[in-house]
Structure 1
Amino acid sequence: MSVVLREDRDGLAILTLNRPDKLNSLTVGMFEELRGHVSDLYKDESIGCVVLRGAGRCFSAGHDLADIAEGEKVPSRGWHSETLRLLERLPKPVIAAVHGHCYTGALEVALAADFIIAAESAKFGDTHAKWALTPIWGMSQRLPRRVGIATAKRLMFTAEMFGAAEALRIGLAEHVVPDAEFDAAIDKMAGQILANSPFSHAANKRLLEATDARDMDSGLQWEILNNEGVGPDMQARIGAFMGKGRS
């Protein structure tokens, strides 16, 4: 049985963590399949947006502690982090759709997406300190960039669990919806993204990545000097808009 499923639908690829009996706890095997799907998506021009979610009761309860205790065999040091970096740099918008548990390693996975949509049932937390562990999948880098360093320190030091409303307040999640409306909200957001230019999405991701944390003047200079221009669909898009105005 595949532990990461891929479903394509009208330009949208849905990647589903698929160990529901284990609360989608993360193993080397899951990362191998996730990495394979992400690598395929780099080459697939039919896909304009990606959603990452979990099967069953939750997004993921986090890194499988049994695997940690037994001693995981990974292809190389930093391999998990490299996999999430590949996901983060995918030249297509990536949404993490989180319901239920999203703890520690699972939160590191969600943070590699461009943003998080949370169901009201979502519960977040970084429990590295609870187990005498330190992050190696990106928590120390992505969490403070998302919520600020003081908030990241508080969450990492206390191992506090918190819900979707708090995730929205601190800027971890971009949008919170009732569980009954979760699927519809994901489809709506993906539809809004897919309606816009894939050229612009890819160029904007590269621009934001390159200038993150730069000072304003050097960022502005980068934007000017490395501007990727206009996409091949620009004339068609403007023409369609102008045509609507005349009808």
Structure 2
Amino acid sequence: MSNSDEAKRIARQDRIARGEARRARMEREAARAQAQAQAIRAEELRLLSEVGAAKRTGLIKTLPKVRKVQPAKPGNLPVIGERIVPDPLHPGDRTVATVNLAEHPLEMMLSRKRLDQALYEAGVRYRAIYERAVIGPGRGIDPGKVKVDGGKLGDPLSDDVAGAHLELKRLSRVVGMVGERILSEVAGRGVTIADLAMSWPGSERERSKRDYLMLRFKEALDVLATEVWGARGPASARIVGARDLGGEAYDEAAVATANQRFLNRRGIVGFG
């Protein structure tokens, strides 16, 4: 046998010996870890048995189980406020009603004096038109309705829905593309100004975006309140206060506010 063959044989035996030693070391470490885990588990069981015996003998009082309650998100918490609304029991009178101001950004803006009554009523009417166009004539099930043969579902694209779509197109031409987008997001979908500012394009700071969006939102509502639905003179001003399209009922305070805004903008005095 040559020297090279002898060297290869020795190297192969050395590799085999190192591998066996490594496997033996790993087996010893695994056995040691298993023994430690078993000892820890045995100690836990011993402590649990001692605690159980102490509870049974009365040395430790059993505490009631505490139910974990998930905290509500800040955006979902109700904000209680008050509104002066027409009294449903006494036509012509007004009463104070408790409302959830967090239900819509318009309610919160009015309560914080960021919108006056005329701008609020304009936003409410735009919201009604938007919901009519998007949701359609949604109706609940009437259990008292008489069943008849041959009945069918109503037309999803009714005259009211088509009219609402046409009204939205007309209003978008009046307030412009930017105003229409802000109105549809805030007054229509109920997105807050802060949330809209986070997704609004531009490299400006978020505070600057919020100020800009609030200014444009109020400008668009002002156009709707004074030029579209609001004041055109002391006798013909009318802002619908009902939550539907049209109707005979309207908010007299909103009409008075819109009239005054119209007259002040044009420098007309003498009409109380």
Aligning the two structures, in what range does the TM-score lie when normalised by the shorter sequence? under 0.3
Q: Structure 2 length as normaliser, TM-score?
A: 0.26
Larger proportion of helix: 2
Larger proportion of strand: 1
Q: Max radius of gyration: which structure?
A: 2
Q: Structure 1 length as normaliser, TM-score?
A: 0.27
